[in-house]
């Protein structure tokens, strides 16, 4: 165990958020030293990744894929930073890496909690390691290619289509030769994904009837649905699935603020009628595939086929406004906080 005297600001929950009111639920605190246990290291953070899924750990639900973050404890997520002190033989001072750490100026990282990985900033900006070259990029890739098993000519639909994961999933399906339809929350996002990102069509779920619009845009039926939201959107897509279609379950945005488990889709019977495959996938299950997936993503990135805008919020103290964007829908692409 070692100690470092540093001014470290960090975010905690003072109470569980009601709905998406993070302003009243989160607070920033400060300490004057950090303790680094044996086998761990400390990073000085440059960027903190804002991930919609973290909302699940801000509830009391024990049945999520990770336990809730207790009130008063430091909030956690993916951070990018440089090691400034290490009590681990393989992680050296000066290494720049992506790891699972606190939402703070300095993170104390236990490399066993979720494996950290060294990043190479000679070819791309550091923040891209929580975008195309990070968990969102791998999630989009695995969801489309391995879980969705798309084929050229398939009709592919993705929700939260202008957000980080959805925008990449749509582009990867396009690269794979699919017809791609995105579902998003504003006309501006719908225009953007079609005009700038090559989607073949878009639906504004706030102003249009998803089921009717899908019938119009995909009369042949949907072969693969990359589901980021569940709930009523899933029901609308179920009505439009083609026989033997696939629902790749990535996220549950409509449900994250709920304190209880919500009932399954109203259209459950259509899973049988249309002989559908439902399959969930979760990024820590494929972190070990970074060396295989990142070169593929890198080729697409370099050739301009896969693009991801990154919205940077300056200052740890402004983290709440950055995090809220994901639930207000005011982001396009990835949201990060620059520390």
Ligand X SMILES: NC(=O)c1ccc[n+]([C@@H]2O[C@H](COP(=O)([O-])OP(=O)(O)OC[C@H]3O[C@@H](n4cnc5c(N)ncnc54)[C@H](OP(=O)(O)O)[C@@H]3O)[C@@H](O)[C@H]2O)c1
Coil, strand or helix at 146: helix
Residues 41/87, Cβ–Cβ less than 8 Å: yes
Task: Give the distance, in angstroms, between the CA of residue 214 and the centroid of all CA atoms in the same chain.
Answer: 25
Residue 27 CB burial class (10 angstroms; 0-12, 13-18, ≥19): middle
Residues 293/138, Cβ–Cβ less than 8 Å: yes
Q: How far is the CB of 163 from ligand X (least distance, A)?
A: 2
Residues 310/336, Cβ–Cβ less than 8 Å: yes
46: which 2 tokens? 């440059």
Q: How far is the CB of 48 from ligand X (least distance, A)?
A: 13
Handedness of CA 229, 175, 149, 272 (dihedral sign): positive
101: which 2 tokens? 């750490």
Q: Which residues bind ligand X (CB under 6 A)?
A: 51-53, 135-136, 139, 160, 162-166, 184-186, 189, 228-229, 250-251, 253-254, 281-283, 326-327, 329, 331
Q: How far is the CB of 90 from ligand X (least distance, A)?
A: 26
Q: How far is the CB of 147 from ligand X (least distance, A)?
A: 9
Task: Decide whether 42 or 158 has the Cβ nearer to ligand X.
Answer: 158
Q: What is the 3-state secondary structure (H, E, C) of 124-142?
A: CCHHHHHCCCCHHHHHHHH
Q: How far is the CB of 315 from ligand X (least distance, A)?
A: 20
Task: Decide whether 148 or 251 has the Cβ nearer to ligand X.
Answer: 251
Task: Decide whether 221 or 329 has the Cβ nearer to ligand X.
Answer: 329
Task: Decide whether 49 or 104 has the Cβ nearer to ligand X.
Answer: 49
Task: Decide whether 108 or 164 has the Cβ nearer to ligand X.
Answer: 164
């Amino acid at each position: 165990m070692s100690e470092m005297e540093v001014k470290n600001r960090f975010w905690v929950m003072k109470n569980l958020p009601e709905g998406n009111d993070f302003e009243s639920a989160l607070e920033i605190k400060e300490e004057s030293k950090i303790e680094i246990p044996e086998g761990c290291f400390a990073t000085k953070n440059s960027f903190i990744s804002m991930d919609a899924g973290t909302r699940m750990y801000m509830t009391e639900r024990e049945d999520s894929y990770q336990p809730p973050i207790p009130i008063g404890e430091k909030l956690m997520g993916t951070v990018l930073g440089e090691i400034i002190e290490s009590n681990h033989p393989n992680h050296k001072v000066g290494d720049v890496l992506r790891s699972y750490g606190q939402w703070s100026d300095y993170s104390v990282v236990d490399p066993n909690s979720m494996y950290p990985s060294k990043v190479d900033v000679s070819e791309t900006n550091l923040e891209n390691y929580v975008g195309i070259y990070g968990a969102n990029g791998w999630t989009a890739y695995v969801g489309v290619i391995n879980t969705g098993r798309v084929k050229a000519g398939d009709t592919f639909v993705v929700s939260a289509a202008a957000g980080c994961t959805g925008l990449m999933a749509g582009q990867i399906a396009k690269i794979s030769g699919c017809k791609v339809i995105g579902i998003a929350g504003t006309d501006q996002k719908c225009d953007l994904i079609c005009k700038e990102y090559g989607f073949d069509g878009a639906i504004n779920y706030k102003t249009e009837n998803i089921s009717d619009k899908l019938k119009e845009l995909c009369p042949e039926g949907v072969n693969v649905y990359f589901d980021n939201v569940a709930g009523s959107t899933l029901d609308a897509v179920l009505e439009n699935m083609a026989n033997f279609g696939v629902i790749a379950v990535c996220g549950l945005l409509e449900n994250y603020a709920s304190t209880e488990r919500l009932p399954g889709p109203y259209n459950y019977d259509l899973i049988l009628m249309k002989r559908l495959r439902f399959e969930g996938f979760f990024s820590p299950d494929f972190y070990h595939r970074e060396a295989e997936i990142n070169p593929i993503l890198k080729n697409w990135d370099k050739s301009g086929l896969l693009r991801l805008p990154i919205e940077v919020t300056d200052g740890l103290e402004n983290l709440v406004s950055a995090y809220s964007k994901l639930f207000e829908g005011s982001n396009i692409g990835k949201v990060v906080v620059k520390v």
